[in-house]
Structure 1
């Protein structure tokens, strides 16, 4: 499954050439008129998008469920400086070129955590606020740890991505947790749904 937002934009643009069409039923036909007939290429919207993307940016990356920081750390352990820089740069570009970026006051950011050891699967929801001076806050609004979870541990495992004042409060969650674990809701609509990708 591809996660590159640039490829998604190209695919969406091609699919929207026919308003209201079902994306899985769209085919693209490119024809060259020749004296004795046509020379054609026919394919899916996704196939054309991959060809355009490859011409512009190189082959699309395949899905990687690790966070940008985890990918960079793996490359660093392997003494792959280029891979480390690519993981960090790609993570930054993916975030800062997202159509919903930057966060706005009133946005909700949900972080999903998989079960690890004795810690159950749970989620946290943060609300973004105006911290004045062009800065934003990201305050823990709620978490879904079980009600009987040990209260002294709740404070230890929740609120890691909260921020009193930051120019980019989602940055740590994006790099450490990973975009695939985040959902951003703006005006009641999911503008980034990492879990659905």
Structure 2
């Protein structure tokens, strides 16, 4: 089941309260402290995702899994567009990680986002996404035509295809030298 991006963001915000902590080792405790005695009278303890789900349910209702190809595409688009760092900007770096498959070794590609429009172009402006570097052995990558497959000269949203095709879990987005999306970090 694919989780709602809003639920993931809430969970990551809770897990981020202790920088560098392993999410599997975290728990959340809420205490009621009596004003007269200063003692805790009631406590509630959960994992970060349990608290995140309670917050999500209060704000949006119970999370629902999407179903079907159309729902998956719509969900991927909504997932991408709801990210706090979205949309891409010129200068952003997009790294795609490919897992090992059969004789193909694991490798990565890094793309740089540029402004593809000219002066006076209507908004929204078009962006390019050009291959900057890759770690695929040339003899393998050239024969399969895989390397650079997400490069585009001008597109209103060059991240949509890799987001849907490769998946957000295989993407890392870097803005101003800082990762704003680290898909493989979880």
Match of 2:156 among 148, 160, 167: 167
Contiguous gaps of at least 5 residues in structure 1: 62-71, 73-81
Alignment partner of 1:157: what SS?
coil
Contact 1:53-1:60 at 8 Å conserved across structures: no
- The structure-2 alpha-carbon separation of the partners of 1:196 and 1:151, relative to structure 1 and needing over 3 Å to count, comes to closer
Per-residue CA distance 1:85-114 (angstroms, 9 max, x = gap):
332222111100101110000000011111
As a proportion of its length, which structure holds more helix? 1
Aligned to 1:135: 126
The residue correspondences of 1:53-132 to structure 2 (distance < 5 A) are: 53-55=56-58, 56-59=60-63, 82-132=67-117
- The structure-2 alpha-carbon separation of the partners of 1:167 and 1:30, relative to structure 1 and needing over 3 Å to count, comes to farther
Contact 1:136-1:165 at 8 Å conserved across structures: yes
Match of 1:153 among 123, 128, 143: 143
Aligned to 1:7: 7
Contact 2:56-2:62 at 8 Å conserved across structures: yes
Contact 1:15-1:26 at 8 Å conserved across structures: no
Aligned counterparts of 1:151 and 1:50: Cα–Cα separation in 2: 42
- The structure-2 alpha-carbon separation of the partners of 1:41 and 1:120, relative to structure 1 and needing over 3 Å to count, comes to same
Deviation at 1:46, TM superposition (A): 3.5
Aligned to 1:52: 55
Q: RMSD across aligned C-alpha pairs, in angstroms? A: 3.4
Contact 2:29-2:43 at 8 Å conserved across structures: no
Aligned counterparts of 1:187 and 1:117: Cα–Cα separation in 2: 36
Contiguous gaps of at least 5 residues in structure 2: none
Per-residue CA distance 1:63-95 (angstroms, 9 max, x = gap):
xxxxxxxxx9xxxxxxxxx53333222211110
Aligned counterparts of 1:159 and 1:15: Cα–Cα separation in 2: 34
Contact 1:138-1:162 at 8 Å conserved across structures: yes
